[in-house]
Amino acid sequence: MNIVHKSIAALLLMTAVSSPAFAQQTVVKYMTFSAAPDYIEELDATIAAFEAAHPDIDVQYETAAFGDYFTKLQTVIAAGQAPDAFEVNYENFVAFADKGVLADLGPLISADTGFSTGIYNPTALAAFSEDGKQYGLVESFSNVVLFYNKDLFDKAGVAYPTADWTWKEELEAARKLTDTANGVWGDFAPIQFWEFYKTIAQNGGAMFNADKTEVTIDSPQNVETLQWMVDKVAKYHVTPTDVEMAGQGDGDLFKAGKIAMLRTGIWMFGDFSANASFNWDIALEPGNTNKAHHFFANGVAVSATSANQQAAYEWIKFLTSSKEAVDIRIKAGWELPAVSDAAYVQGYLDQPKPESREVVFQALDTAVTPPVIANWNQLTDIVGKELEAAKLGQKTPQQALTDAAAAVKGIL
């Protein structure tokens, strides 16, 4: 499959290079995951705005689904065909920066008179620096909140979720909302790695100690947390099993009015606004002993081997900070631009759906960053597999987490 993709890309590239219309332009190849599949139009519009301002630069992009993106990126870089600019998320940024594949943007930024990195949210920008060097510009934030179907709540006569809900109130509501006869489920949160490290934080737990030298995956409060996650499926049956979902996505089930409460990312705003035919809103996630919310950041970097670093830098600067790009992003709900200007934030809040957009910013107060280690993909696979075993009842939560802890010790 990859070979086919690559040869198609190579063919397209050859035609582009050989066609005389592009001859005097600098081509910037860009690779992204966040644009596909829902925000391609917005990416096209951003590129059009950029090319209007920079007629000498031609941005050509390639997208990959998030699940395949980093495999593909790593492979094209290793093959010496790195795109000039590409997206990296915070989890993978450290590994890429350490391996020397990202260009130090410092000289380009200081040579760029009239531009200041003060435009970015400083914490978010700092996430994409390493050893005092800025290896990427921060593109967007996103987080995960509790989405709920207001119509289903009204029908069941249940009060909408509030900020002081805990797991207890959530479960009570979920039991009332679940309507097996009509295939409606009260609550959904996936049982997988990302959901797990956030949910354990809602119960005061963590994957590692503060300096990531010790594995604390199997702590008593984490076992209790996993038990709660599993119980929603197996014991209380307010969440469908894998077999009951039969390969349908949680977002699709929510859109079909089959899930009353769903923990998912704000990147679903665009899809739900366009395709959900009922009233819905968002709320802070209930916690047990603590409040905790995901925090994800995407950045864009320039390849260390790119021959067009200046042009690539112009593009990523435009993509992350220009008024045009930020406006397009806000209007479409394509995550949150990481710029610090209050006017932009207001523009975001003014969008019609969902009503309680301020929740997105409130959730940032209790943000949990991903527990990044060098062997990130192995960590997510090892823990993910044990969580799956617990979900399917092959192992008790205690046993699954004990096994996960033992395996993770080996890759730390």
Partner 1 sequence: MEGVTGRGKYVALAVLLLPSLVGMGAFYILPIVSSLVLSFTKWDLLTPVQWIGVGNYVAALGDPAVQQALRNTLTFILGYLPAVVAGGLGLALLLNRKLKGRTVFRAIYFVPVVTSWVAVSLVWKWLLNPQYGLINYGLALIGIKGPGWLFDPNWAMAGVIMTTIWKDIGFVTVIYLAGLQEIPENLGEASSIDGATPWQRFWSITWPMLAPTTFFVTTISLISSFQVFDQVFVMTGGGPVGATTTMVQLIYKNAFSYGQMGYASAISWILFALIFAVTVAQNFLQKRLDKSDG
Q: Which residues contact 325 (CB under 8 A, 6 or more apart)?
A: 46, 49, 50, 318, 319, 337
Kindly tell me which of 246 and 342 has the beta carbon lying closer to partner 1.
246
Minimal distance, residue 378 CB to partner 1, in Å: 5
CB closer to partner 1, 122 vs 410: 410
Q: How far is the CB of 71 from partner 1 (least distance, A)?
A: 5
In angstroms, what is the minimal distance from the CB of 379 to partner 1? 10
Distance CA 368, CA 375 (A): 19
Nearer to partner 1, 66 or 115 (CB): 66
Quote the least distance from Cβ 389 to partner 1, whole Å: 5
Tell me the one-letter amino acid at 72.
K
What residues make contact with partner 1 under the rule CB under 8 A?
A: 1, 71, 74-75, 77-78, 96, 99-101, 242-244, 246-247, 375, 377-378, 381, 385, 388-389, 392, 394
Report the nearest approach of partner 1 to the CB of residue 386 (Å): 8
Rounded to an integer, what distance in angstroms lies between the CA atom of residue 21 and that of residue 51?
Answer: 14
Both tokens of residue 319? Answer: 């993509």
Kindly tell me which of 221 and 375 has the beta carbon lying closer to partner 1.
375
Nearer to partner 1, 151 or 388 (CB): 388
| CB 257, CB 140: distance < 8 Å | no
Instruction: Please compute, for residue 405, the number of CA atoms within 13 A of its CA located in the half-sphere on the CB side.
Output: 20
CA 147 to CA 44: how far, in whole Å? 29
Q: Which amino acid is at 144?
A: V
CB of 114 to partner 1, least distance (A): 35
- Cβ 237 to partner 1 shortest distance, Å: 16
CB of 20 or CB of 67, closer to partner 1:
67
Nearer to partner 1, 56 or 98 (CB): 98
Note every long-range contact of 202-205, with CB atoms under 8 Å and residues 24 or more positions apart, other chains counting: 202/167, 202/285, 202/286, 202/287, 202/288, 202/289, 202/290, 202/291, 202/292, 203/228, 203/287, 203/288, 203/289, 203/290, 204/288, 204/289, 204/290
Closest CA to 120 of 107, 105, 139, 135: 139
Q: What pairs with residue 134 in β-bridges?
A: 129
Residue 135 CB, nearest approach to partner 1 (Å) = 14
Q: Which is nearer to partner 1, 189 or 390 (CB)?
A: 390
E-assigned strand segments in 223-306:
259-265, 280-283, 293-294, 296-302
